[in-house]
A and B are shown apart, each in its own frame.
Chain A
Amino acid sequence: MKSLKKKLESSFSDIKINITDDSRITVNIKKDAVVSILNFLKNLGYEHLALISCIDWIEENEFELVYILSAYMEKDQEYNEKEKKTILVKTRISREESKFITVINIFENAEPYERELHELFGINFEGHPRLTPLFLERDYKIPPFRKDFDTRKYVKDVFDKIPSIEERKK
């Protein structure tokens, strides 16, 4: 754990590493260095991308992207401490611009995660081959998982316009 922290600190500048007792490492890094740190960690053996998540910090006007990595064991190998570690690589991007670089060429299974974040948060991943809708069928002015999307107002605006059965009979 400590050696990983040292390795990261010597290879990257402007990095903030936080180790919690239960084998989780949080790495805060500038957005330009994300691709290189993901490559670096993958070469160290953290080749399982568990999740790409996004948090909308509306008061700071920023999105926080979280890449969660862990390690696979070798085939026919028993368990050791390495698989226990989970690394959370976090970066912040501007909410207005809301664009980032795709990491598909590093992790193949990043594709649907980025597609989902594009649809639900409106983050544009440059270089992604198909940012087509994944779950939603309607067009939304504000992507629905952003904090300023008001679900109640949306329901009122869209579904109140549908006439009731009595009104339709007239």
Chain B
Amino acid sequence: MRELELYFGPQHLGMVGNFSITLKVEGDRILKADANPGYLHRGFEKLIEQRTWMQNFPLVCRINVVEPDHMELIYSMGVEKLAGIEVPERGKFIRSIYCELARVGSHLFGLWAYSNMLGFDTVANWAMYHRDLVLDLFEELTGARVYHIYIRPGGVRRDFPEGFEDKIVKTLHTIGSKVPDYNATFFENRLFEKRAKNIGKITCEEAKKMGAVGQAIRATGMKYDIRKIEPYAAYDKVDWKVPTREDGDAYSRILVIRDEMIESVYMIFKLLDKMPKKGDVYTKTPNPFKWRVPAGEAYVRCESSRGELGLYIVSDGGDKPYRAHFRTPSYSHGLTILEKVLEGESIADVGNIMMSLYVVAPEIDR
């Protein structure tokens, strides 16, 4: 059969997001894949060097469009470490609750993209509706639906409004009561099992070699989770489990995502119970126009909904960062693992594998 080159770009129906892959195919089989990012390169890391420490928030939250919250968190953690700022107890709990809500929202968005691409439109509509309910919570809390800019160095911008805890519980009960329906129509659906089982398989050893984090490595049986390894915010204050699977294929990755969502919901309930009822939510920081952060460097990491998210930040003692470099989970997933895993698979599974690896293009390009 003849060998052809196929440009699998953002205009292709099987592609989700602004990302492209050049495929060498023979019939329906992929011989070689060449990932080609850059559609969303906005040079944020360069722009960050030209803005003051506080001015950078609108930039960092746009690095990952789907879940800006962890981006705010990681940048705040970096600045806090450089400047030696402590977060008050209640602020830590609010951060954790906020980030877990963001994880639920982001996983629902991922579920929308994945099920929509496989043709499960009903599930896609449910997921989008439930994500909207989470966004309603964010809107009440922060005033914005997508880019919240709620976390700031030293804590969070403001306290929960009155009765907000009850609203969180109510929304999560609404979403949680739909889990059996999700299971019946999607996760335990035989059509979906046939489509996702034994697709895009990686073993634990391969995953380690290629720098996998997040669901990609937890689906191979390793409990690698930064929230447990290096607890930040209030994750060490409550008891929770890290869901894992054994097979390392697309199906187990999606099931890990589902289990994680459920675990997040339980975790939010526990965090709400344990949260101190009163107290400051932020520490005062200097005037943002005159704020000079002491010279030094820091590497901070947290667990975003896609895996280990890191920030290497350097200050030269000025009013702007000297250098900031984000280690985003999609980078290794989308450029190293995707290229390797696609070899030998069929064209119809490109989007399937890419979404199961949970690749988000803006995170790669930055």
Chain A residues with CB under 8 Å of chain B are 22-24, 26, 47-51, 53-56, 66, 68, 72-79, 83-84, 86, 88, 107-109, 111-113, 133-137, 144-145, 151
Contacts and interface: CB of A to CB of B under 8 A. Distances in A.
A50 to B, nearest CB: 5
4 tightest A-B CB contacts, nearest first: A109-B211, A135-B41, A112-B335, A51-B327
Given A50-B327, A108-B209, A112-B331, A73 B365 contact: no
A50 B230 contact: no
B229 A50 contact: no
Contacts of B46: 144-145, 151
B310 A68 contact: yes
Contacts of A111: 335-336
19 contacts: A49-B211, A50-B327, A51-B299, A53-B312, A55-B314, A66-B312, A68-B327, A72-B222, A73-B223, A75-B220, A75-B221, A78-B223, A109-B211, A109-B336, A112-B332, A112-B335, A134-B37, A144-B43, A151-B50
B222 A145 contact: no
Given A73-B224, A77-B223, 19 more contacts: A22-B81, A50-B308, A51-B299, A53-B312, A53-B323, A55-B314, A55-B323, A56-B323, A68-B310, A68-B327, A75-B204, A75-B221, A75-B222, A108-B209, A108-B210, A109-B209, A135-B365, A151-B46, A151-B50
Contact of A73 (B220, B222, B332): B222
Interface residues of B, number: 38
Contacts of A86: 299, 301
Interface of B: 37-38, 41, 43, 45-46, 50, 81, 204, 208-211, 217, 220-224, 228-230, 297, 299, 301, 308, 310, 312, 314, 322-323, 325, 327, 331-332, 335-336, 365
B327 A134 contact: no
Nearest to A48: B211
Contact of A55 (B37, B211, B322, B327): B322
Contacts of A50: 211, 301, 308, 310, 327
A112 B327 CA distance: 12
Given A84-B230, A136-B41, A76 B221 contact: yes
A109 B208 contact: no
A72 B208 contact: yes
Contacts of A109: 209-211, 332, 336
Contacts of B224: 72-73, 83
